[in-house]
Amino acid sequence: MAETTRRNHPYSGVIAKLKQAGLRPTRQRIALAKLLFENEDRHVSAEDLHEEARAASVSVSLATIYNTLHQFSELGLMREVVVEAGRSYFDTNTDDHHHFFHEHSGQLEDIPSDQINVAEMPSAPPGTSVSRVDVIVRVSGSAD
Amino acid sequence: MAETTRRNHPYSGVIAKLKQAGLRPTRQRIALAKLLFENEDRHVSAEDLHEEARAASVSVSLATIYNTLHQFSELGLMREVVVEAGRSYFDTNTDDHHHFFHEHSGQLEDIPSDQINVAEMPSAPPGTSVSRVDVIVRVSGSAD
DNA sequence: TTCTCATTTTAGAATTGTTCTAATCCATTG
DNA sequence: CAATGGATTAGAACAATTCTAAAATGAGAA
């Protein structure tokens, strides 16, 4: 009653995905990749993912969650978003897009790239090159 | 030899500024406001300011630094900028502007508002209103 | 001035999110 | 299947920030 559900995903793309990224497809990475990539795009904190894993009876240490999230981000499988001091979110959507940040709930929401447009980009300071542009539109509930 | 230097600033604008903001002009707040507002615009972390205060022989606890920085930000005297998980910067420049973030050094640099332009802002999600838009241009040193 | 009281400040403990460490585990290769 | 180097782990360590309860102080009243 615990092993039978495993058989469904014959060999989901995640293993291939991990291999392509140059990561050894370990039990933990496979499980996390499934949680992250076989559902809708979303924004998770390390704690969120840890909890999701527990809920799915996948035993993974928090250290591994952090390692994995960082590896996935460095390899371009996902993207780290910083909105609040003291908490990182990881976004499974790697398309070019920006975010709404709901100040009261702490939630992040994607802004599709065609709904926002940064014009007149300044040139990067001498000796540097732009690695990314983040736009965060902070919104507060009208009832605040 | 410790009290004589006090006499210089006859009654700098900071006291008025504090009163206008509805804050009692205490010794600590006056000292911090002077450090923050009587110099060029800049970006400080709580630790930075704590250190600056010590260097100026102003004794202020770290808790007060945090209280003050948050109060000043809430009252619009300065602005909190979050770029890295785990560290907050406070910007004494409250004009409408955005930032370069130097990934290698952790330094923030202002982008004057006329050098960048966010066009086609999306409308805020129902029931919310935009409280601020932050644009962070992350740059890395070319020698990385 | 002195008294009073709400506001501030404070030291240090506590919390939070994240990283480190050293031991153990396991995926891959031969 | 054994060897080996990368991966995972529990728990300690860490850094930034917040909390707590007590002591200090500013502002107004008397």
Tens-digit pLDDT profile for chain A (144 aa)? 444 344 445 556 899 999 999 999 999 999 999 999 999 999 999 999 999 999 999 999 999 999 999 999 999 999 999 998 888 999 999 999 999 999 988 899 999 888 999 988 899 999 999 999 999 999 998 654
Q: Is the dihedral of CA B5, B10, B14, B20 positive or negative?
A: positive
Q: Which residues of A touch B45 (CB under 8 A)?
A: none
Most B CBs within 10 Å, among A73, A103, A139, A142, to test the B interface: A139
Domain boundaries B10-139, corresponding CATH code: 1.10.10.10
Please give the structure tokens belonging to residue A112: 């599709």
Smallest CA–C1' distance to C21, residue = A63
CB-based contact B118 A122, cutoff 8 Å: no
Amino acid in the structure at residue B73: S
What is the reported pLDDT for B141? 80
- Nucleotides of D strand lying within 7 Å of any protein CB atom: 6-11, 15-20, 25-27
The footprint of strand D (CB < 7 Å) covers A 23-24, 26-29, 59-64, 67-68, 85-86; B 24-27, 45-47, 62-63, 66, 70, 86-88
If 0-12 CB within 10 Å is exposed, 13-18 middle and 19+ buried, where does residue A105 land? exposed
Which residue type is seen at B121? M
Taking CA atoms, what residue in B is nearest to A121? B116
Paired with B139 in beta bridges are A130, B102
Whether the CB-CB separation of B90 and B81 falls below 8 Å is answered with yes
Q: How many Cα atoms within 13 Å fall on the side-chain side of residue B65?
A: 21
Task: Please enumerate in sequence order all residues whose Cβ is within 8 A of that of A96, keeping only pairs 6 or more positions apart, or say none.
Answer: A113
Picking from B20, B117, B136, the residue whose alpha carbon sits closest to that of residue B76 is B20
The nearest alpha carbon in chain B to A45 belongs to B85
Contacts of B122 in chain A (CB under 8 A): 100, 111, 115-116, 137
CA B41 to chain A, closest CA, distance in angstroms equals 18
Task: Provide the terminal-to-terminal Cα distance of chain A, rounded to the nearest Å.
Answer: 47
Q: Which nucleotide is nearest to B23 (CA to C1')?
A: C7
Helix B62-74 and helix B27-37, axial crossing angle in degrees, nearest 10: 70
State whether residue A143 is helix, strand or coil.
Answer: coil
Are B79 and B90 within 8 A, CB to CB? Answer: yes
The whole-number pLDDT of residue B10 equals 52
Q: Which chain A positions have a beta carbon within 8 Å of B100's beta carbon?
A: 122, 124-125, 128
Per-residue pLDDT tens, chain B, 144 aa: give them: 433 344 445 566 899 999 999 999 999 999 999 999 999 999 999 999 999 999 999 999 999 999 999 999 999 999 999 998 888 999 999 999 999 999 988 899 999 888 999 988 899 999 999 999 999 999 998 654
* C-alpha to C-alpha distance for B14 and B28, rounded to whole angstroms: 12
Q: What is the ipTM of this complex?
A: 0.86
> What is the pLDDT at residue B119?
87
Residue whose tokens read 């560290």 = B87
Write out the two tokens for B142: 């070319």
Which residue is listed with tokens 């965060």? A136
